[in-house]
Amino acid sequence: MKKICLYFEIHQIIHLKRYRFFDIGRDHYYYDDYENERSINYIAERSYVPALQTLIQMCKDHPEFKVAFSLSGCGLEQLEFHAPQVVDLLQEINSTGQVEFLCEPYSHGLASLANEESFAAEVKRMSDRIKELFGKRPKVFRNSSLIYNDEIGAQVAAMGFKGILTEGAKQVLGWKSPHYLYHCASDPRLKLLLRDINLSEDITERFTSHPIMADQWLDWIASTPEGEDIINIFGELVTFGIFHPLQSGILEFLKAIPVLAKERGIGFALPSELCSEKSVGAIEVPYNISWVDEERDTSCWLGNVMQREAFNKLYSVADRVRVCGDRRIQMDWDCLQASNNFRFMTTKPGYQYRGIYDSPYDAFTNYMNILGDFISRVNNLYGGADNEEIDGLITMIKNQGDELANKDKEIERLRKKLEKYEAPAAAEKQAPAPKAPAKKAPAKKAPAKKAAPAAKTASAPKAAEVKKEPAKKAPAEKAPAKKATPKKK
């Protein structure tokens, strides 16, 4: 049976304000509050609210329908502050039991390409936040913009996730189909769900320019070769209302999918359900892939010298930020990591939206001014210590953390070993319980013992002839008494 895995991303761009060189050291607030509030309310009203209301009704009307979401931590913070009704709708759809929330980096940034410890810390924070909001810890991971390579896969598997979403890029798949379940080449425990680019972008990219009907789209799914049963449709929730206006009929298209899918024998599945199945083999991804641009790589964030300079400068203080414990520094760190900051600097053709910036050079200059002030604040937390001293301190803290992690693993190993030794003892304690019926045997002998004195005291009751048979056994039991008479001689 063919199954559609439907997933939508929820992330909100955090807009930085105009920040000049002369503001460095004087102004430590970097955000355009007006634009952030305006944009989140605009998107919530025209996209998130109507789309979520539609999906909630679809879950209620069609018990077989299932859908997955992921949220960035920065986007979630803005929703809670400016548009809490969206969070309420997410909790309502979660209550249907037909929804799964995936985990992603808290900042929606590029830490997975720069600093393993910062990446792990972000993932843990977001996992804890999902557990707090929706009552269940995520089992499947989704990196920012589906960025993936074999090394990232190994890190994600080590964090305990059973699967990851990524792009079904042609340069990775070759002749293979994205309609199968694969696993990570570096760690077979991690399953890979690959996006079907054409079927996904029929909705997310081309719906307005090349309109299609829901029955036609589902016919394409039904016509896929036999055995290709996993159809991964991944996109952004802003597809409904922002990328394509509601007047285009895109929500009506969405509503029709469950009904028409049922007619064609097509079902729905959550990512964690698919990741519980057996994979058909490994997919090797030695270099970075993503779901952005025709190249499906990371060139839109790190494709030119300006982007790489800003990226390297930012993550040069990653370890210091991670161990500093300053809440304000951490909040600014999350916002400065957001991938859109680097995307505004791209010089690739086709990018028209750059926020407040007139050009990629304008975006680079503004970001580097803010970054200069931020790095100065981070260094001031360490009392003017030189870089070697700070790096030594960070290395010591990291080594201590690794030592504690190893001790935790050793404790867990010993605990499991102790359970193995305690299991036989527990079984012995429970063993007498089934032997309880055997204790009834002495109860049968009790009347026999009473029969002997009864025979001595009773004068001549012949009515108990049946009891004479136990009386005959009594002399056999007194056989040792006969041996006692020779001793008297």
Q: What is the pLDDT of residues 144-158, one digit of tens each?
A: 999 999 999 999 999
Name the residue with higher pLDDT: 9 or 438.
9
**Separation between Cα atoms, residue 158 and residue 142, nearest integer Å:** 15
* Residue pointed to by tokens 């190249």: 295
pLDDT per position as a tens digit, 192-207? 999 999 999 999 999 9
What number of other Cβ atoms are within 10 A of residue 177's Cβ? 15
Q: How many CA atoms lie within 13 A of 127 on its CB side?
A: 17
Average of per-residue pLDDT across 388-403: 70
Q: Computed over its alpha carbons, how large is the radius of gyration of the chain?
A: 35
Q: How confident is the model at residue 422 (pLDDT cuts 50, 70, 90)?
A: confident
Name the residue with higher pLDDT: 196 or 443.
196
- Tokens found for residue 243: 């990328």
Q: What does pLDDT average to over the chain?
A: 86
* pTM more than 0.85: no
What is the distance in angstroms between the CA of the first residue and the CA of the last residue of the chain? 96
**Separation between Cα atoms, residue 262 and residue 253, nearest integer Å:** 15
Is the pLDDT assigned to residue 408 strictly greater than 60? yes
Phi and psi at residue 67, to the nearest 5°? -150, 150
| Residue 434 pLDDT | 52
pLDDT per position as a tens digit, 247-289? 999 999 999 999 999 999 999 999 999 999 999 999 999 999 9
Average of per-residue pLDDT across 385-412: 73
| Residue 471 pLDDT | 43
Is the pLDDT assigned to residue 226 strictly greater than 80? yes
pLDDT per position as a tens digit, 4-13? 999 999 999 9
288 with 191: CB under 8 angstroms? no
Task: Give how far the C-alpha of residue 371 lies from the chain's centroid of Cα atoms, to the nearest Å.
Answer: 31
Average of per-residue pLDDT across 308-326: 93
**Separation between Cα atoms, residue 140 and residue 157, nearest integer Å:** 10
